Amino acid sequence: MPAVIDPPSTMPEVLPHPGYDDPNKDLDVESAVRDALADPWNVILWNDDVTPIDVPVEALRMVIGLSRDEAIAKTLYIHEHGKAIVATTTFEKAE
């Protein structure tokens, strides 16, 4: 089951433009990018027909810190529903 990093649906589609009110004001791109990456990101685990079930169970236990029973339940949910959010964290940790 490959993991996909996806921003949560609550994240604004367009970042606020620092110089929007004043066109002469310099756009601080680095600051805007840094702010966007600091927002929480969802890590989504997708189902596939190739990966043995013990691989995502172990990944959820080792990487996310779920108990064995929680990891098995989450893996079965993903198997039945196709995908699930397994963590919400910063971009750096999600990556």
To which H or E segment does residue 7 belong?
A: none
Residue 90 CB neighbours (<10 A): 12
Q: How far apart are the first and last CA of the chain?
A: 16
Per-residue pLDDT of the chain (95 residues; tens, 9 = 90+): 556 655 555 554 555 555 555 555 556 777 777 777 777 889 999 999 899 999 999 999 999 999 999 999 999 999 999 999 999 988 878 88
pTM attached to this predicted model: 0.60
The two tokens of residue 70 are 């929680």
Residue 94 CB neighbours (<10 A): 19
